[in-house]
A and B are shown apart, each in its own frame.
Chain A
Amino acid sequence: MLKVDSVQLDFDGRKILQNVYLDCKPGEVTGLLGRNGSGKSSLLKIIFGTLTPYYKYVSIDDAFVQKGYLNNRIAYLPQHNYLPQNIVIKHLAPMLVDPLAWDEFAAYPLYQEHQHKKPRELSGGELRKLETLMILYSKADYILLDEPFTHISPVQAEEIKAIIRKRATYKGFIITDHQYYNILEISDKIILIDNGSTKLVKNKEDLITYGYLSSNS
């Protein structure tokens, strides 16, 4: 199990995260919600190991983890593109994709069609989807997705959700996105970041109570 506890992060004296606790088991999808600037992306980067807070405790199966990305323990889809632009896709994909899931990944028309191209030759939407697929089929045990539903069409969002459901049978997912309805639909558990603290949300009414949603939503 991935556990994140006692994270304290501040920027310029302003407390961003405090009293943070969340956990995620393989086979579970944890949705992370919060307003703009609430620290959702920062929390994912802290778990991944690329942002160093004042204090954190991150563990996998009760063993402390300093950098989550080392040895493929945790994979992370950032909000921005991440693939090197000057390397052919068929040379990049095997570095990230789980060999056990390779056939399934390689069967996607998007990969079939563009594997001989470089990332810079793809459109923004195609590249985002390809990068998302590579992370979803990553060999990591835990997968962090930062806004996977943003900048993609509703049809593509449905496709991504179906893959998450399939992959989540044996991997743990932590997902954040402003499209809260997608998060509510796909998550087994919802965590809201409010005033720097994590709160377990049981239903949509809790999101209204905490001021994340208006009563008209």
Chain B
Amino acid sequence: MTHLRPLLFQFYKTFLWWNLLITIVAIYAVNLGGPGNVGNSIIIKLIGYLGAWSFQTYFYKYVYFYYRNAGQSVKKLYSYTFSIDFVTYLLLTGSYIIYIHYPHVKG
């Protein structure tokens, strides 16, 4: 039993509000510049991940020992949680673009 799911949730909880804020800003960038601004929006998200990782590593690195004592690699926790967050962001951005800019696709 590795408890991966609850550990992922506990790990992500620290970044939840930050990542949500960055997602809103990134989608707002698409709102301002249209679908052509998706590249910049993705860059905002990537900067957000770098900020989250830097903040955690600089100020709260000690908690990594908790996750390691639970048998998990911190690299794995970052890659899983950020991947899930990024896919969610892509789905939200895609839905937003379709809803706002291509309303006829909605049917």
Give the residues in chain A near B2, CB-CB below 8 Å.
71-72
Question: A-B contact count, CB below 8 Å?
Answer: 61
- Does B68 reach chain A (CB closer than 8 Å)? yes
Q: Taking chain B's interface residues, is the majority helix, strand, or loop, or is none over half, making it mixed?
A: helix
> Are A138 and B3 CB-contacts (below 8 A) given A80-B62, A81-B62, A84-B14?
no
* Chain B neighbourhood of A91, CB < 8 A: 6, 10
Pick from A71, A81, A82, A83: contact of B71, CB under 8 Å = A71
Cβ proximity bits B80-106 to A, threshold 8 Å, 1 near / 0 not: 000000000000000000000000000
Cβ–Cβ < 8 Å partners of A87 in chain B: 10, 13
Number of interface residues of B (CB under 8 A): 20
Partner of A83, one of B6, B63, B68: B63
Contact A95 B65 (CB under 8 A): no
B54-75 contacts to A, CB under 8 A, are: 60, 62-66, 68-73
Chain B residues close to A by CB (< 8 Å): 1-3, 6-7, 10, 13-14, 60, 62-66, 68-73
Which A residues lie at the B interface, using CB under 8 A?
48-50, 67, 69-72, 75-76, 78, 80-87, 91-92, 94-96, 99, 134-135, 138, 140
